[in-house]
């Protein structure tokens, strides 16, 4: 048998192996348990000492060279594969980093955070009440008795009157019931704001059946209209981040305040920018909130003595404030849940509103 020829053939096959799988097949064929070279080694035992002395080294040399060739080819195939990968997977470090996925803060949440920050600075804390309210807190305690026309004006969503006691539960139509809850829970003095969802059966471009209000309530001794005016002026200047906010107070009517005051701010008709008097040409007044001195009957319904405690209250639409400040057109889009809208109008979650850093830094 010509071991030199066998060796040459094996080395040629190894050199021609195109991938690691083919190489492994060859290794098994030569050196595996049933392999041809392993078979040759087994023949040594049956040889005469002379033969073994002559042929043994040839077989061992054959095994040696095939083992080396297999290792060398394996190395070569592996580095070729690596080179190919490196060539195909180039990294261009000058490219801009891909944008990390991130959420954004809805303008309503943003404005609520801004309001909480502004009022916290004036010593107000945040109070809440249930969205499913009873008739008494939403109406009666606020001096809106059963027959009062204001009930019809509120377009209330009532729940079916299960108990049949004529006192159906309802979805609160405003945040004012939190005034009553705060007085009954905390007693006086009080300085709170109460932001939250409210509901009215009404829907068009400027009304949605669910919207957001923020209520403010101050109860203390000797509170008068001057305190109300100063508070609203300070709040609106901080919110719109301008010093030239001009307020116009108009006499109005709410059953739960006496006297009642509606508050307008001046704005420019061409760009809607809030600030300055509304009386100049090209300018107008825009209603931003309802307010007044808390009605004596309401203070009494809150369990306090109206001869000892006075207060003022105000309420305004958070969605409307957001629209005014950030210029959105259609209120309905606020609640469509369209991620593109929120990406466009939303705020960077890392920009927490602070009075020092600016309460309304856009994303
Ligand atoms: N609750 C009133 C509304 O929803 C707003 C308001 C609150 C008015 C507090 C006066 C005082 O329109």
The pLDDT, as a whole number, for residue 153 is: 67
- Looking at residue 348, its pLDDT comes to 86
Q: Residue 111: its pLDDT value, please?
A: 95
Pairing of strands 210-220, 125-126: unpaired
In CATH terms, the fold of domain 107-345 is: BirA Bifunctional Protein; domain 2 (3.30.930)
What's residue 174's pLDDT? 96
Pocket of ligand 1 (CB under 6 A): 174, 176, 215, 254, 257, 290-292, 313-315
The length of the chain is 363
Q: Which of 171, 172, 174 to mutate to test the pocket of ligand 1 (most atoms within 8 A of CB)?
A: 174
Looking at 23-162, which runs of residues are DSSP E strands? 125-126, 132-134
C-alpha angle 340/343/344, rounded to 5°?
85
User: What per-residue confidence (pLDDT) applies to 318?
Assistant: 96
| Strand intervals (E) in the chain | 125-126, 132-134, 169-171, 190-199, 210-220, 247-254, 257-268, 283-294, 310-317
Indicate which atom in ligand 1 lies nearest the CA of residue 173: 4
290 CA → ligand 1 middle, Å: 5
Nearest CA to ligand 1 atom 5: 315
CA 141/CA 315 separation, integer angstroms: 17
Confidence at residue 1, expressed as pLDDT on a 0 to 100 scale? 52
Helix (H) or strand (E) holding 3: helix 3-16
Residue nearest atom 6 in ligand 1 by C-alpha distance = 315
For residue 161, what pLDDT is reported? 78
Query: Structural domain boundaries of the chain?
Result: 3-86, 107-345
Q: Considering only CA atoms, which residue is closest to atom 7 of ligand 1?
A: 315
Residue nearest to atom 2 of ligand 1 (CA): 315
Question: Are the CB atoms for 199 and 230 separated by under 8 Å?
Answer: no
Could you count the other beta carbons within 10 Å of the beta carbon of residue 18?
9
- Look up the pTM and report it: 0.71
| Regions of the chain short of the pLDDT cut 70 | 1, 153, 166, 360-363
Atom number, ligand 1, closest to the C-alpha of residue 142: 1
| Of 174, 292, 143, the residue nearest 229 (C-alpha) | 292
Q: In ligand 1, which atom is closest to the CA atom of 294?
A: 11
* Residue-level pLDDT at 360: 62
- Give residue-wise pLDDT tens across range 7-46: 889 999 999 999 999 999 999 999 999 999 999 888 988 8
pLDDT at 363: 40
């Amino acid at each position: 048998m010509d071991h030199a020829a066998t060796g040459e053939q094996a080395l040629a096959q190894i050199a021609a192996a195109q991938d690691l799988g083919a190489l492994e097949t060859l290794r098994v064929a030569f050196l595996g348990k049933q392999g041809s070279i392993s078979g040759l080694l087994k023949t040594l035992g049956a040889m005469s000492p002379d033969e073994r002395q002559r042929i043994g080294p040839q077989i061992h040399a054959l095994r040696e060279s095939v083992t080396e060739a297999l290792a060398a080819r394996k190395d070569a195939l592996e580095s070729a594969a690596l080179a190919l990968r490196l060539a195909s997977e180039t990294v261009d470090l000058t490219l801009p980093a891909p944008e990390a996925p991130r959420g954004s803060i809805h303008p309503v949440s943003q404005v609520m955070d801004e309001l909480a920050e502004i009022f916290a600075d004036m010593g107000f804390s945040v109070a809440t009440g249930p969205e499913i309210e009873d008739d008494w807190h939403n109406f009666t305690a606020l001096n809106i008795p059963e027959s009062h026309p204001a009930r019809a004006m509120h377009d209330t969503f009532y729940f079916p009157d299960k108990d049949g006691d004529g006192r159906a539960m309802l979805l609160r139509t405003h945040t004012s019931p939190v005034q009553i809850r705060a007085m009954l829970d905390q007693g006086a003095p009080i300085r709170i704001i109460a932001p939250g969802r409210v509901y009215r059966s009404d829907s068009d471009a400027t009304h949605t059946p669910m919207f957001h209000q923020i209520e403010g309530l101050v109860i203390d001794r000797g509170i008068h209209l001057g305190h109300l005016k100063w508070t609203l002026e300070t709040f609106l200047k901080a919110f719109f981040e301008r010093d030239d906010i001009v307020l116009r107070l108009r006499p109005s009517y709410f059953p739960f305040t006496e006297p009642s005051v509606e508050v307008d701010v001046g704005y420019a008709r061409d760009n809607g920018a809030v600030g300055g008097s509304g009386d100049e040409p090209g300018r107008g007044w825009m209603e931003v909130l309802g307010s007044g001195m808390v009605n004596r009957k309401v203070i009494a319904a809150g369990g306090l003595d109206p001869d000892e405690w006075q207060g003022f209250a105000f309420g305004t639409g958070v969605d409307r404030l957001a629209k005014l400040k950030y210029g959105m057109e259609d209120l309905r889009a606020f609640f469509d849940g369209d991620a593109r809208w929120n990406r466009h109008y939303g705020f960077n979650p890392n920009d927490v509103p602070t009075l020092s850093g600016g309460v309304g830094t856009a994303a």
